[in-house]
Structure 1
Amino acid sequence: MYIRTTEIQGDPANVDDGLQLIREEIFPAVTAMEGCVGMSMLVDRETGRCLTTTAWSSEDTMQATAAAVRPLRDRAERALGSTSGRYVHQWEVAVVHREHATPDGAWARLTWLSGGTLSMVDDAIDMYRMVVLPQIQELDGFCSASLMIDRETGRVVGTAAFDSREAVEASREVSTGIRERVVRELGATIDNVEEMEIAFAHLHVPEMA
């Protein structure tokens, strides 16, 4: 399974307009493309930052749709009131575990790491399965977790979804401890940690734990 992420810095006042476009036009168009297995959108309403994700059954189908999704991405960028462009990245899905579907009002914590080596990426996958996932599964309000990797750049991003913003906030202390252990043992660098609202959730990536 493969993922394409699009990061857009939009205008906070335009987030709902962007979401409406995603729901009514972009989601139906993208999911009609061969190999697409869903779409999601995470938002930070205070800053206007939006992260849209599309999932694909193979790297080939993801690459084959690159030209077709570009005008859709342009429309989303305009709807969100972006003035600083966008950042598009492609990932391999390494781990997915789902306890239950995300309800309305769900939030997620994303942790972006880099290490620059292929061995770090492989070690990160093992550590996520054996150390991170068993611990975050026990947290109140846990919904699902995933790990995406880029072997070429040595980057990984872990996402943990929770039932509510309150559940994400309550898990911060435990998550910080887990993150510090992971970074120490992997020799990785924390590039960013974000907490975002799961505003649109229609990804159908199968269990890969």
Structure 2
Amino acid sequence: MYVRSIYATGDPATLDGVAEALRTEGRELLSAQPGYRGMGLFVDREVGKLLVGSWWEDEASRQASFESLGKRRDELISPFARTLAIDNWEAPVARRAEDLGPGAGFRLVRMDVEPGDIDLLVQTFRDTSLPKAQQVPGMSGISLLVDRERGRAAVGSLYTDREALAASRGAVAAIRGETTEKARVITRSLEEFEVVLATAVPHA
């Protein structure tokens, strides 16, 4: 699986309108693209942050959708976005949730990792971190994303509600600490969001 993430910051007052446009028209446009496997839409209304993740069967589908939808995507996001970062990822480990919507919570952890240690991170996450994380109450899905060329990784985890997200912080911090030590990674940032939409398209 492959992922494209769009991270935008801007005026909180304009965030809800853009999030609604992405939830409706944006999702419709993505779902019409070959190879589309799902979408996540997350917001921080207080600070003014928007994160969109789209999931694809292969790199070719991800790239084709980027080229096909670029103009309309920019039009949908531009009323809010003052800064915009678009990244491409491989998803070597993904335990994705059933559809979630408002009220659910999302945590994103970004990490730096030497390119030569990415396979070590993937193995450590799959064998050690994932089984422990799935025992955390309220966790509904978790994925590891990697960028092998740039030496970056990210972990996204979904929770059934914001209370479960908050209650998980201590347990997840312990798991994260063990993972970073074993896999030789550095945590670059940790953010939490409200879920607007998180949906996966089941394989036929």
In structure 2, the residue matched to 1:121 is 118
What percentage of aligned pairs have identical amino acids? Answer: 29
In structure 2, the residue matched to 1:172 is 169
The DSSP-based 3-state class of the residue aligned with 1:83 is: strand
User: Equivalents in 2 of 1:98, 1:203: separation in Å?
Assistant: 7
Gaps of 5+ in 1: none
**Deviation at 1:100?**
4.6
User: Equivalents in 2 of 1:89, 1:21: separation in Å?
Assistant: 21
In structure 2, the residue matched to 1:32 is 32
Contact 1:96 1:205 in 2 (8 A): no
In structure 2, the residue matched to 1:160 is 157
**Deviation at 1:157?**
0.7
Deviation track 1:131-152 (CA, whole Å, cap 9, x = no partner) reads: 1111111111111111111111
**Deviation at 1:65?**
2.2
User: Equivalents in 2 of 1:114, 1:205: separation in Å?
Assistant: 31
**Deviation at 1:34?**
1.5
**Deviation at 1:30?**
1.7
**Deviation at 1:55?**
1.1
Deviates more, 1:141-150 or 1:32-41: 32-41
In structure 2, the residue matched to 1:106 is 104
Deviation track 1:12-52 (CA, whole Å, cap 9, x = no partner) reads: 11221012211231211121111112222111111111111
Counterpart of 1:142 (choices 133, 139, 144) is: 139
In structure 2, the residue matched to 1:201 is 198
Cα distance 1:4–1:50, how it changes in 2: closer, same or farther (>3 A)? same
Cα distance 1:58–1:159, how it changes in 2: closer, same or farther (>3 A)? same
Cα distance 1:152–1:163, how it changes in 2: closer, same or farther (>3 A)? same
In structure 2, the residue matched to 1:190 is 187
User: Equivalents in 2 of 1:134, 1:14: separation in Å?
Assistant: 39
AA of the residue aligned to 2:14: N
AA of the residue aligned to 2:81: S
AA of the residue aligned to 1:12: P
Deviation track 1:59-115 (CA, whole Å, cap 9, x = no partner) reads: 111112222221122123223x2223x100111111112465435411011111111
The DSSP-based 3-state class of the residue aligned with 1:174 is: helix
Cα distance 1:46–1:158, how it changes in 2: closer, same or farther (>3 A)? same
The DSSP-based 3-state class of the residue aligned with 1:60 is: helix
State the TM-score, normalized to the length of structure 1.
Answer: 0.90
The DSSP-based 3-state class of the residue aligned with 1:33 is: coil
In structure 1, the residue matched to 2:73 is 73
AA of the residue aligned to 2:89: W
The DSSP-based 3-state class of the residue aligned with 2:181 is: helix
Over the aligned positions, Cα root-mean-square deviation in angstroms equals 1.7
User: Equivalents in 2 of 1:19, 1:163: separation in Å?
Assistant: 20
Contact 1:103 1:163 in 2 (8 A): no
Aligned residues: 203
State the TM-score, normalized to the length of structure 2.
Answer: 0.92
Contact 2:106 2:194 in 1 (8 A): yes
In structure 1, the residue matched to 2:82 is 83
